[in-house]
Structure 1
Amino acid sequence: MGLLPLNYRRPSYVKKGRPNDDLSKSQTSINSGSDNADKPARSLKPVRSANTLGIPPALSFDKIIDGGTCPPCTTRDFMNYLIYVERSAENLQFFLWHREYVKRFEQADTPDIALAPEWTQTMEDEAVMRIQKDHAENLRRDPKSSIAAEMFQGTDFEKNSQIRKGSVSDSNPFSTPPETPGEREDYSDYVASNATSYRIQANEAFSSAGLKAPFTIQPFRREIERVIATYIMDGAPRQLNISDREQKAVLQALAYTTHPTAFRIISKQVESELRRQAHPNFIRWSICNGNSARVFFARVLGVGLIIGGLVLAQVLTLSRAARGYRALAAIVFVLGIATLIAAYKGMCVVLHGMHHRHVRPWELFMTDEEDVDDTGKRSFDSFGSSNSYEEEPWVVRYKKRNIIRKIFDREVWIQEPALRQIQDTIFVQSMLCAVVGAAILTGVFLAVPGGDLF
């Protein structure tokens, strides 16, 4: 495939942002005028990423989601990254569900579809304005309590306060939402075994937002109740990172309709986070072909080679050897500098020479394809349990693995051509920098008079 431009830079790391609490996106649409507010279909168009620097078209977000890439850049690899590294897999899980839900809703040809009208942009703007107005009124009445409520939002203080006020039905005041993976699975199994549990939880979410329970005769209403219990309500096993006011806005929309446009305010945010934050970070992480132990070893090796080159150059300079022999240190300098620069970018030059990468820790102890398929099914289950993995067997086994075995972990071939192209470019950049650096260092030692000491 050739190389990318030599001025190529891998994607920058994008830090996680806070949820858009002031609903500035919705407020912008309010201020834009009523002409644009009457075009709800436009809001379902995908949000394009602004941070595509360093990502070739072959590794674009849409290409990965549509299954047009090879390992280690497939949709499953992206999901594993979000589960085990970034810990925000609920965004991709919700995004995949919502995209598939839009298709199913549009293809549905039943009379009850007429019972689920669109949630227009005008309706959303009015709902947002009411929520902001209520929030401002509460802040005016009791500014201290409102500020304190925002400070403790999402913490145990807020939950205990809601229990004392009766806004959360809990017979045991000392009970807390399940936290460990095992407890989460029991909770999810219980919910799945009892069809009415989702409706009860959804109704509690509507009640806590000051809304009446919706009509159950609308199409896909049971599925929407599961979505609320899984992604939207407080304490949900895969609760999305949305603000309290965004939560109220989407619940108000879902109380009115089951049309896909009801999710507009959170679907746009989820997709934006995936495109502008998770996807660039995933590509940056995928460029690394070695685990942390191997990369650290490569950095130490690079520094060691540079020091060795300096020692060799000094010995040759102080000896009676001919001046030309000092140029031998340039070979060591090139190897050391190239290894160090590549390791700084997460690459091991030895693994790159074979276009190999280390097997990920969560893949290392899977014995057969059934284990891989089972893990994939769980992570792609739209209504599964939480994404916690701390008690998975591989975690303990990998921690017990000694450092030498980690450095020389099992390797696999990198199948994605675009990723190999990026790594080839980084390797060439490292070699060019190494040649320039080695030439400068070698030139300095060649210019120094000989010591003739031995």
Structure 2
Amino acid sequence: MNRFLSSNRESESSDTSLKSSQLVFSSSIPEALTFDRILSGGTCPPCTIHDFMNYLLYIEHSAENLQFYLWYRDYIKRFDEADTVDTNLSPEWTQAMEGEARAKIQKDVRREPKEADMLKGTDLEKGVIDVIIENGDPFSTPPSTPSMSITPSFLSDSQASSYRLQSRDAFSAAGAIQPFTIQPFRAEINRLIAIYISDDAPRQLNLSSREQKGVIQALAYTTHPSAFRTIAKSIEDTLRRQAHPNFIRWTISNGNPARVAFARSLSVGTIFCTTTGAIILTLSSAARGWRALFAIGWVLGIAALITSWKGMCVILHGLHRRHVRPWELIDSAASCDESELCDRSRDAGEDRNFDSFSSSNSYKDEPWVARYERRGLLRKVFDREVWIQEPALRHIQDVIFVQALLGALLGAGVLTAVFVNVPAGRFF
């Protein structure tokens, strides 16, 4: 998008902290399902950005990463398009400034216990900045460019004041000087700090103490997008190298847990019954050639078992269909057809999960949670199905099925050879 996002992507190759298995799977993801393609809207259900957000919210419980990343990309665009005179009030946060702030934080961490012990029990323990906050900040000025930020247009005065106080608490805790409110987008940054960065924030990002203090120090100085440089790169790396591969791996599963468990049990039962029949026939006086017929059962059972371990149901795969997710199933009306459901999945812009400044990502109170828990097991096994529209995903599932079939042929061939060559027991 511009130099900030480009620099983040260029430095990805230097990150060696992720597991090699994740990197291998990420490299095997087809071009049609890459992270950038999903975010740009170039994929079909169930691999859209809407599906990605639902996965992060309901399965991985880390939707705040994508919500922050989408806001950050939009913020860079809006900041670059803003009036030049106003943006000059927020200079760039340079690498040198970041290094100085990091050294200061490191120094404060080493001396903090001693200072805390010295101030304990005194009036100074509360802190000078906390006193300023309670009595009002004499250096604050009313925003001069409210049109620059999207926040004031839909925030009441009480909400804006609450976010401002929460951000001040965050600045105080990080030992940063209270910023001037004349900087553009300051109200929006205050709200972002209150929702994503401060302690006990409703969508608190998974940041270390030093990362949190570092970004707060930067935001105390400027509202320039470069203030988010470090945490934005970390979050983007997490999305690209961990969340995205996990999402693609999850979408390969075409059945819900109940259906996959049912398929796995059925495959194990098929293998057990086939093996039992082969043993009985071997102990009898029947001709050896009859034992080769059990290879059919072994092939079917082993192939179904392998695909079930990948989260796939062979029957659903043969139809190129998948089970509707619980949050899709309950929220959709019974009369809706597949196209209407898929159209809703593509309509990510109106989804509340894409609201970067919503209160929290909790979904425990959503109606579908309790209703799906009351759903019977048999009904879950035979839940509603929809067509898999994404061709690249169908191709991945086809490859998995072919691999499972080849493995089943190999396993069945070995078992058949063993049983055919065992002498007849002639017990009956």
Give the TM-score category using the shorter length. 0.7 to 0.9
User: Is 1:321 matched up with 2:286?
Assistant: yes
C-alpha contact (below 8 Å) 1:71/1:414 kept by paired residues: yes
Closer, same or farther in 2 for the Cα pair 1:301/1:47, shift >3 Å?
farther
Indicate the residue corresponding to 2:42 in structure 1: 68
User: Is 1:390 matched up with 2:355?
Assistant: no
C-alpha contact (below 8 Å) 2:253/2:312 kept by paired residues: yes
Aligned-pair CA distance for 1:45: 4.3
Calculate the aligned-residue CA RMSD, in Å. Answer: 2.7
Aligned-pair CA distance for 1:122: 0.7
Looking at structure 2, the residues matched to 121 and 61 of structure 1 have their Cα atoms a distance apart, in angstroms, of 28
C-alpha contact (below 8 Å) 2:322/2:386 kept by paired residues: yes
Match of 1:270 among 235, 256, 266: 235
Indicate the residue corresponding to 1:29 in structure 2: none
Aligned-pair CA distance for 1:450: 1.8
Indicate the residue corresponding to 2:324 in structure 1: 359
Of all paired residues, the percent bearing the same amino acid is 61
Matches within 5 A, 1:233-248: 233-248=198-213
Aligned-pair CA distance for 1:451: 2.8
Indicate the residue corresponding to 1:333 in structure 2: 298
Looking at structure 1, the residues matched to 163 and 110 of structure 2 have their Cα atoms a distance apart, in angstroms, of 32
CA distances 1:218-261 after superposition (whole Å, capped 9, x unpaired): 11111111111111111211111111221111111111111100
User: Is 1:230 matched up with 2:195?
Assistant: yes
Looking at structure 2, the residues matched to 71 and 439 of structure 1 have their Cα atoms a distance apart, in angstroms, of 38
Looking at structure 1, the residues matched to 381 and 156 of structure 2 have their Cα atoms a distance apart, in angstroms, of 43
C-alpha contact (below 8 Å) 1:59/1:418 kept by paired residues: yes
User: Is 1:437 matched up with 2:411?
Assistant: yes
Looking at structure 2, the residues matched to 367 and 352 of structure 1 have their Cα atoms a distance apart, in angstroms, of 23
TM-score (norm 2): 0.82
Looking at structure 2, the residues matched to 397 and 343 of structure 1 have their Cα atoms a distance apart, in angstroms, of 26
Indicate the residue corresponding to 2:424 in structure 1: 450
Aligned-pair CA distance for 1:262: 0.5
C-alpha contact (below 8 Å) 1:168/1:208 kept by paired residues: no
SS in 1 for 2:386: strand
Dislocated runs of 4+, deviation >3 Å: 39-50, 164-171, 189-193, 368-376
User: Is 1:401 matched up with 2:375?
Assistant: yes
Looking at structure 2, the residues matched to 234 and 65 of structure 1 have their Cα atoms a distance apart, in angstroms, of 29
C-alpha contact (below 8 Å) 1:83/1:89 kept by paired residues: yes
SS in 1 for 2:311: coil
Aligned-pair CA distance for 1:195: 2.5
Aligned-pair CA distance for 1:67: 1.1
Looking at structure 2, the residues matched to 378 and 108 of structure 1 have their Cα atoms a distance apart, in angstroms, of 27
SS in 1 for 2:59: helix
Looking at structure 1, the residues matched to 82 and 115 of structure 2 have their Cα atoms a distance apart, in angstroms, of 48
Looking at structure 2, the residues matched to 446 and 70 of structure 1 have their Cα atoms a distance apart, in angstroms, of 49
Closer, same or farther in 2 for the Cα pair 1:238/1:55, shift >3 Å?
same
C-alpha contact (below 8 Å) 2:211/2:231 kept by paired residues: yes
Looking at structure 2, the residues matched to 142 and 216 of structure 1 have their Cα atoms a distance apart, in angstroms, of 31
C-alpha contact (below 8 Å) 1:40/1:121 kept by paired residues: no
Match of 1:128 among 91, 102, 105: 102
C-alpha contact (below 8 Å) 2:288/2:420 kept by paired residues: yes
Indicate the residue corresponding to 1:307 in structure 2: 272
SS in 2 for 1:440: helix
Amino acid at match of 1:417: P
Q: Is there any run of 5+ residues in structure 1 with no aligned partner, and where? A: 1-38, 146-163, 172-188
The higher relative CO (CA closer than 8 Å, separation ≥ 6) is in 1
Indicate the residue corresponding to 1:152 in structure 2: none
User: Is 1:108 matched up with 2:82?
Assistant: yes
Aligned-pair CA distance for 1:436: 0.6
Number of residue pairs aligned between Structure 1 and Structure 2: 379
SS in 2 for 1:86: coil
Indicate the residue corresponding to 2:140 in structure 1: none
Indicate the residue corresponding to 2:311 in structure 1: 346
Closer, same or farther in 2 for the Cα pair 1:131/1:439, shift >3 Å?
same
Looking at structure 2, the residues matched to 257 and 46 of structure 1 have their Cα atoms a distance apart, in angstroms, of 24
Looking at structure 2, the residues matched to 82 and 42 of structure 1 have their Cα atoms a distance apart, in angstroms, of 24
Indicate the residue corresponding to 1:181 in structure 2: none
Looking at structure 1, the residues matched to 5 and 243 of structure 2 have their Cα atoms a distance apart, in angstroms, of 26
SS in 1 for 2:322: strand
Closer, same or farther in 2 for the Cα pair 1:41/1:393, shift >3 Å?
closer
Match of 1:77 among 47, 51, 61: 51
Indicate the residue corresponding to 2:122 in structure 1: none
Indicate the residue corresponding to 2:392 in structure 1: 418
Aligned-pair CA distance for 1:453: 3.6
